[in-house]
A = this chain, B = another copy of it.
Amino acid sequence: MNREDLKFTLSVLRRSLDGDAFTHVVRHTPHADIADELEALPVADVAALLQTLQPADRTELFSHLPERLQDALLPALPRPVVVQLFETLPSDDRADLFNRLSEEAQAQLLPALAQVEREDILRLAAYPEGSVGSVVTSDYVAVTPDMTAQAALDLIRATAPDKETVYVIYVLNAERQLLGTLSLRELVLCPPDSRISDLMRKDPVFAKAEWPRAQAAELIRRYDLLALPVINGGNRMIGIVTVDDAMDIEKEQDATQLARFGGTAMMGGPDLDIRESSIGQMYKTRVFWLAILTFFGILTSTFVAGQEEILSEVIILAAFIAPIIDMGGNTGSQSATLVIRAMAIGDVKLKWRDIWFVVKREIPIALGLGVTIAILEAILAYFSKGVGFDVLMVVGLTMLIVTVLGGIIGALLPFAARRIGTDPATLSSPMITSIMDLLGVFIYFYIAYLFFGHLMG
């Protein structure tokens, strides 16, 4: 069914509340598409539609709805339905959902759940947001090392419906410590009486529950895993992170990197989200960076104010302050973002060899850019304002030096950020602007003095 048909069908179904028809849609249409269309409907209609479904279909669809919609639906659904959702949702989704409830709602919900579910939720929900533990699911297949391949396959057949993935099997000892992993592929291909202990891959890649969740996503990507086992302080396995969750984590992480570069990350605080962050948080984080820029800007403007003498002699110099400081910042942004990008995909690391490689490439490019821009600016300045040759020389030389310096400093800043342990994207942009402003006006007026100093005193 294409999206137009789906939209139409749902608009009909929300009035007719035909359970059979909606069930058919749910079982034959990708849930991500249904979720998109449901977002546009009134919450009460979505709640009514959900209640026309069988519990299994309802839980499956609910788990694919965006968090905003899930949160809006819970108060609109009858209590038995909410309890049933919490009992059947995948364990990572329901732990998140639980954490988003108010304390009151949490207290009301817990007694209604069976003990197994209640303990599972509380255990997973205890992990701090942003940690690996917060994205873990406890629905994984565990076998013991002495089992045969056939016994393992039988276990999988019996428990598969409740498992997030059966493609990776985890071998645990009696203390639930992780001994090794095995893939379903290997299990299917080997003789049925093989021992798990002979088949399993020892020393598996793993993550600890307290690590940042982005680290789990990176491990999954680096080692091409379908799922990553997660252990707690006692080396006991608590769950897994699956590759689809890893993709979502990385998507959000990378999208955030750009926002950080634009100056919207609190050092060591949460990143801003245009929907999720409150107006207060947005204001506080953004004013922090703008205030830093204002302070640095005062240095620049104080310096320029001190150049009153030469400015009154050659007033036209004021006109070029803007293009000059712009150029330094822009060339710096270019080289900084190129380096940050290379760091993100692992092409460049914090090593002297890589720093030298980057600088060695940047110098000729920045020189070429500087010469081109200096000449271009001089030509345009001449034809637009008919300025004198000496002013052209001052502007041109400054443009050249500022462009080259901007490129090199911009290339080095991400390394400096990594060195002091900050995220390169967060540190680079405000630093580039501030540094190149100050350097720009220093160089500009110094060169201006060389040419026009004779006019004064």
Report A's interface with B, CB cutoff 8 A.
Answer: 1, 28, 30, 32, 153, 156-157, 160, 166-167, 184-185, 188-189, 202-203, 205, 220-224, 226, 243-244, 246-248, 250-252, 254-264, 272-275, 279, 282-283, 286-287, 289-291, 293-295, 297-298, 300-302, 304-305, 308, 311-312, 315-316, 318-323, 325-327, 329-331, 333-334, 336-342, 344-345, 347-348, 357-358, 361, 364-365, 368-369, 372-373, 376-377, 380-381, 384-385, 403, 425, 429-430, 433, 437, 441
Which residues on B sit within 8 Å (CB–CB) of A30?
Answer: 205, 223
Q: CA separation between A255 and B261, bound complex, in Å?
A: 12
Q: A246-B247, A294-B376 are in contact. Are A348 and B274 (CB under 8 A)?
A: yes
Known: A220-B247, A283-B368, A290-B372. 7 other contacts (CB 8 A): A30-B205, A153-B188, A167-B185, A256-B341, A274-B342, A290-B330, A302-B319
Which residues on B sit within 8 Å (CB–CB) of A336?
Answer: 262
Q: CA separation between A425 and B337, bound complex, in Å?
A: 12
Which residues on B sit within 8 Å (CB–CB) of A311?
Answer: 311, 315, 318
Which residues on B sit within 8 Å (CB–CB) of A264?
Answer: 334, 337-338
Q: Is the CB of A330 within 8 A of B433?
A: yes
Which residues on B sit within 8 Å (CB–CB) of A345?
Answer: 251-252, 255
- Count of this chain's copies in the oligomeric assembly: 2
Most B CB atoms within 10 A — which of A257, A301, A331, A357? Answer: A301
The dominant DSSP class at the A interface is helix
Q: CA separation between A369 and B290, bound complex, in Å?
A: 8
Complex: chain B residue closest to A383, CB-CB: B298
Q: Is the CB of B259 within 8 A of A338?
A: yes
**Which 3 A/B pairs are nearest by Cβ-Cβ distance?**
A262-B337, A254-B254, A297-B323
Q: Is the CB of A274 within 8 A of B433?
A: no
Q: A304-B322, A323-B294 are in contact. Are A222 and B377 (CB under 8 A)?
A: no
Q: CA separation between A205 and B28, bound complex, in Å?
A: 11
